[in-house]
Amino acid sequence: MVKFTVEDHDGNRQEIEAPDDMGLSLMEVLKASEYPVLATCGGMALCATCHVEVLEGEDELGDATDTELDQLENLPEYFPTSRLACQIRISPLMEGSVIKLRGEDN
Amino acid sequence: MITTDICIIGAGPVGLFAVFEAGLLKMRCHLIDYLPQVGGQLSEIYPQKPIYDIPGYPEVKAQELVDNLMEQIKPFKPTFTLGERVDHLAKQSDGSYIITTNDKTQVHAQVIVIAGGLGVFEPRKPALEKLDHFEGKGVTYMVKNPETFRDKKVILAGGGDSALDWTIYLSKVAQRVTLVHRNETFRGAPDSASKVFDLANEGKIDLILSANLKELGGNGHLNTVKLENKSKEEITIDTDYLIPLFGLSPKLGPIADWGLSIDKNAIEVDTRDYSTGVERIYAIGDINTYPGKLKLILCGFHEAAIMMHSAFKYVYPDQKLSFKYTTVNGVNSF
């Protein structure tokens, strides 16, 4: 299990615990935790409705991939550590990270 | 006014297959979708992605599935209103409905089927003060008729393919085109990107890179757009139009105002026939919810079959429905 923190649109933070051995994506865990993430395309990095900003832990989680950037670029606003939650695997690398929900879609 | 038996809101895979199930029961369908093409998110978001869980197809590309569905429903001659959003439902004294779109198209139907997927794909809007004030008064999110912009000053914002393509197109029509993009490079099609750089080098368009939209100005109609560049300097540009092109995102839209029971952006239905709490209105596919719901195309197909058998009583109140297999009766067109 890994623990990380999620900040919603209103700035409320909550610690989330998720299994790191089930091949889950961060998007799936956010949805399962009842966060309002649309995830229109279901996790194919094709819609950018699971836009998050990595506030802490960006070095461990790495930069957005090219496919993510293709989508992020289309958004009215994104940030240097923006990612698509569907492209972040729940792994030990996430331990202690802080993730902020972004985008008017969510 | 268009008259039909069943009006299907949403022309995605489930809405399209619903036409087939209705057709077997001799019920005619009209479909309305806000996207300019049929297929819903399959055609709009992932046309070339393979789908592996359609029974009988080990693998099928999303667009191919849509094309096949269109072929399958051809015998039942469905009619379409595309690029329009259903805004209003009006119940008639005989129980039927008149549906009105944002472009004032009207459809008279005995039964309404909401197969709206995730809702209406609306343009994403930049966070700007007074944006809604200038919508339709200089701010527009799609180029419906390029002639609107002839000999006008136009600012486009965005870095995707549609921003590049429209910049190239409108450079031949508008008096002056300015493309504003937040980065130094484009991730869109390299061909289009180099064409845009060429146009800028030739002085045919203004290309403003590493800049963001900041403020809109104008008395009634849009007159100016203020930009801010990387070094926080502000630039104000005179313009007649601003076209922000930041992609589409699904919204539940007017469906939320039709008196249906909604839970987390989905319509609650009775699983006996996928009816909503409102008589003659059904909801199938990703837009409905019930205990055990799975958002799968194949589940939507199942819901369409059951739902149409239930709707039969409203279209043919004096007839008794007899269940028939296509293997026995074939597909009888009308």
Say if residue B46 carries a ligand binding annotation: yes
Domain contains A7 = yes
A105 touches B: beta carbon within 8 Å: yes
Domain extent, residue A14, equals: 2-101
The tens digit of pLDDT for each residue in B98-156 reads: 999 999 999 999 999 999 998 888 888 998 999 999 999 999 998 878 999 999 999 99
DSSP output for B155-191: EEE--SHHHHHHHHHHTTTSSEEEEE-SSSS--S-HH
Domain contains A106 = no
pTM for the full model?
0.82
Would you state the pLDDT for residue A105? 57
Each domain of chain B, given as residue ranges in start order, spans 2-122+249-329, 125-246
Cα separation, A6 vs A55, whole angstroms = 10
- Spell out which residues of chain B touch residue A76, defining contact as CB-CB under 8 Å: 124-127, 244, 246
Tell me the residues of B at the A interface, defined by beta carbons under 8 Å apart: 41, 45-46, 49, 118, 124-127, 158-160, 183, 187, 244, 246-247, 249-250
Q: Which runs of consecutive H residues, i.e. helices, occur in B145-289?
A: 161-170, 190-201
Question: Which class in CATH covers the domain with range B125-246?
Answer: alpha beta
Domain contains A80 = yes
Would you state the pLDDT for residue A83? 96
Domain contains A44 = yes
Mean pLDDT, rounded, for B66-90: 96
In this model, does residue A104 exceed pLDDT 70?
Answer: no
- Number of domains, chain A: 1
Cα separation, B15 vs B25, whole angstroms = 16
Are B275 and B269 a contacting pair, CB within 8 Å? yes
Is A49 close to B249, i.e. CB distance below 8 A?
A: yes
A67 touches B: beta carbon within 8 Å: no
Mean pLDDT, rounded, for B65-76: 98
Q: How many helices (H) and strands (E) does chain B have?
A: 8, 21
Is it true that B2-122+249-329 and B125-246 share their CATH fold? yes
Tell me the fold of B2-122+249-329. FAD/NAD(P)-binding domain (3.50.50)
Cα separation, B81 vs A46, whole angstroms = 26
Residue A69's CATH number:
3.10.20.30
